[in-house]
Amino acid sequence: MKPLRKIIFPAAGMGTRFLPATKASPKEMLTIVDKPLIQYGVEEALAAGMEQIIMITGRGKRAIEDHFDISTELEANLKSAGKSKLYKEVSRVSRMAEVVYVRQKQALGLGHAVLCARHWVGDEAFGVALADELIVGPKPAMRQLSDVYHKTGNSVIGLIQVPADQVSKYGIVAYQAGEDGLLRLTDMVEKPAVEDAPSHMAIVGRYIFTPRLMELLHDVKPGAGGEFQLTDAIAALAKEEPIHGVVLEGQRFDAGNPEGFLMANTLLGLQHEQYGKALRQLLKDHL
């Protein structure tokens, strides 16, 4: 079985669903309670035992690099001001992971973004996570996938069941129940019309791939929306190797749009040790 140490975060998108908030700052840096979205993703990957983060960025994304970098001046200031809790947190974030940054020069699609990381991935298995999909629950979503990878050595995709009117927004899979109790994905299609969809089971932005996926991405032709689609390369992989589906436990939010973002903030706010009480009171007063 190939080692699983690396994970790609495609983060070059323009965040159009969240304008004007994302006009001058990356959507990955939008704050859920007290941390930027991308930090939730990185912490989830670390909790699954991954160590190397490959961030695919583009113009206007420097704030992500600064966030995970050591800020010598800030750390020195916090230390000398005796703000030891803040100092610890800031220095923890700067040192939590080894991060490399790869620029995607043109927005040619998710498949193209992932392919930009090929030299960093080499001949190893790797994860891919879309940070605006926030999955909240006791077991980190990437961990749910990596457990299956470590059992089988096969590619694994995170899934959720979506209502009919949402099907055309996602990659949708065809699947069978395997003898081992795992779902086996037989095909998938990107953003199908509901009448053409093989199921209502959607790909939800958490993936683990064997290295073969990168080779198949090379050959992908523009698909849905004229973009190089990751889903098309996964469909090709499904013809060659077993791919497992994991229906993710936990509550999932599409935090890349204002509604999902507000709901994620509310749930995590309510669960927060320090802010939960005041938020509960506020909601009580206004309901």
Among 21, 90, 53, residue whose Cα is nearest residue 261: 21
Residue nearest to ligand G1P according to CB distances in the complex: 171
Q: Nearest distance from residue 89's CB to ligand G1P, in Å? A: 29
Q: Least distance to ligand G1P from the beta carbon of 208, Å?
A: 15
CB of 224 to ligand G1P, least distance (A): 8
Closest distance to ligand G1P from the beta carbon of 232 (Å): 9
Q: Give the residues lining the site for ligand G1P (CB under 6 A).
A: 110, 130, 133, 170-171, 190, 202-205, 229-231
Q: Which is nearer to ligand G1P, 138 or 225 (CB)?
A: 225
Shortest distance (Å) from residue 273 CB to ligand G1P:
30
Q: With beta carbons less than 8 A apart as the criterion, state whether 196 and 189 touch.
A: yes
Least Å distance between CB 175 and ligand G1P? 14
Q: What amino acid is encoded at 143 in this protein? A: R
Count the helices and strands in the chain (H runs, E runs). 11, 13
Cβ nearer to ligand G1P, comparing 57 with 229: 229
Minimum CB distance to ligand G1P smaller for 168 or for 266: 168
Q: Provide, rounded to whole angstroms, the least separation between the CB of residue 159 and ligand G1P.
A: 9
**Residue number, 44 or 269, with CB nearest to ligand G1P:** 44
Pick the closer one to ligand G1P by CB: 50 or 202: 202
Residues comprising the chain, all counted: 287
For the record, the structure tokens of 3 come out as: 């080692």
Residue in the block written with tokens 């080894």: 98
Q: Assign residue 248 a region: left if phi > 0, alpha if psi is -120 to 50, beta otherwise? A: beta
Q: Which is nearer to ligand G1P, 9 or 87 (CB)?
A: 9
Of 49 and 198, nearer to ligand G1P (C-beta) is: 198
CA–chain centroid gap for 62, Å, is 19
Q: For residue 40, which of 56, 23, 57, 53 has the smallest C-alpha distance?
A: 53
Quick one: which of 170, 150, 147 has its CA closest to 160?
170
